[in-house]
Amino acid sequence: MNRTLKTTAVAATFCAVAGAGIVGYGEVTAEAQTRTQEQTQTQEQMQTTSATTARHGHGHGDSFSGTKKIRVDGYSVNVSCSGHSAARKPVVVLMAGAGDGLDSVAGLQKTLSKKNRVCSYDRLGEGESDQPNGIQTINDSSKILTGVLNQITGDRPVVLAGHSMGGYIAARYAPDHRDKVKGLVLMDATIPALTAGISKAIPESATGLAAEMRAGAIAGNEGQNPEQFVIDDVKVRSAGRIPVQIIKHESEYSQVPDYRPALEQMWSEGQHEWLGLSRHSSLSTAAGSGHYIYRDRPDIAVKAIQRVTAQATARW
């Protein structure tokens, strides 16, 4: 697209790309600026902790606190870990949405790390990690995630807690890594068939902002996003009997009122599809929240992650 889109939560829901780009933000609200400043302050605190407490080695997955760069498959990947927990308790790994680095979940990580070992990382193309060499598929992203987990969690199992595209990647990663992933929390995760869904909810005949949203979402799904990650339409595969908590937003899409009902239906149906990940999946709505559930309702996000971690610990 040849013009910058207006700042909208709709764009964030489809493919959250902060800054500029296909589905980007041309304007930054005062609230967003405040949030960014708070995230930066929290991240700086974590980096200060790193300077004083970092230790080497990762066999037990509890080897350092703070932020550092690790090498994975020839790339430099920015990771952050904090907190401690019992040796047999899963490590919580936070996965931000598209356009967001680990700094966006720093506040959530800080809260969770009071009772858990919690880590996060910048995927290629995000934050302080290297840029990808080209288009990335789920196999490419999964390879990086495996390399990260091997280094920051050692032989301990993990609970993946992903927002938006981070949730989509976590949900697709889990079925092929049942030995490692023992629980999932999906916070308004990108739905399994977004391209088909958005194409139906907003027809090609749409004009104005709705047309831009449609085109931007489809282009983003084809890899025109910071990570150059292709978001394929897929069928949901089982990840076994692991606990899975799916949380959806309560209200979105106010900027395109004519298509809002169809978009909400599309998103809700997509969230229900993720229930197929496990016989022990549950779906709830975060009252009072938009797409960024962990910001709008951090209490709900924290409780869900703690609950799934406890369930995973009991099963392990």
Average pLDDT, the chain: 85
pLDDT digits (tens, 9 = 90+) for 252-299: 999 999 999 999 999 999 999 999 999 999 999 999 999 999 999 999
In this prediction, residue 24 has a pLDDT band, given cuts at 50, 70 and 90, of very low
- Amino acid letter at 145? L
Amino acid at site 100: D
Q: How confident is the model at residue 88 (pLDDT cuts 50, 70, 90)?
A: confident
**At residue 249, what are phi and psi to the nearest 5 degrees?**
-70, 160
What's the pLDDT tens digit per position in 212-263? Answer: 999 999 999 999 999 999 999 999 999 999 999 999 999 999 999 999 999 9
User: Strands 158-163 and 181-187: what pairing?
Assistant: parallel
Residues 6+ apart with CB under 8 A from 51: 66
Q: State the pairing for strand pair 281-286/181-187.
A: unpaired
Name residues whose C-beta falls within 8 Å of residue 158's C-beta, 6 or more positions apart in sequence: 90, 91, 92, 93, 149, 180, 181, 182, 183
Q: Provide mean pLDDT across the span 163-189.
A: 98
Phi, psi of 137 (to 5 degrees): -100, 180
What residues contact residue 73 under an 8 Å CB cut-off, 6+ apart?
Answer: 143, 144, 147
Share of the chain above pLDDT 70, in %: 80
CA distance 120 to 79: 6
Cβ distance 5 to 256 under 8 Å? no
Residues 6 or more apart in contact with residue 57 via CB below 8 angstroms: 63
Residue 37: predicted pLDDT: 44
pLDDT of 193 higher than 80? yes
In whole angstroms, give the CA distance from residue 130 to residue 133. 9
For residues 47 and 81, the answer to whether their CB atoms sit within 8 Å is no
Q: Is residue 175 over pLDDT 50? A: yes
CA–CA distance, 223 with 280 (Å, rounded to integer):
32
CA–CA gap between residue 190 and residue 14 (Å, rounded): 7
Pairwise CA distance, residues 76 & 86, whole Å? 29
Of 51-55, 238-242, 305-309, minimum mean pLDDT range:
51-55
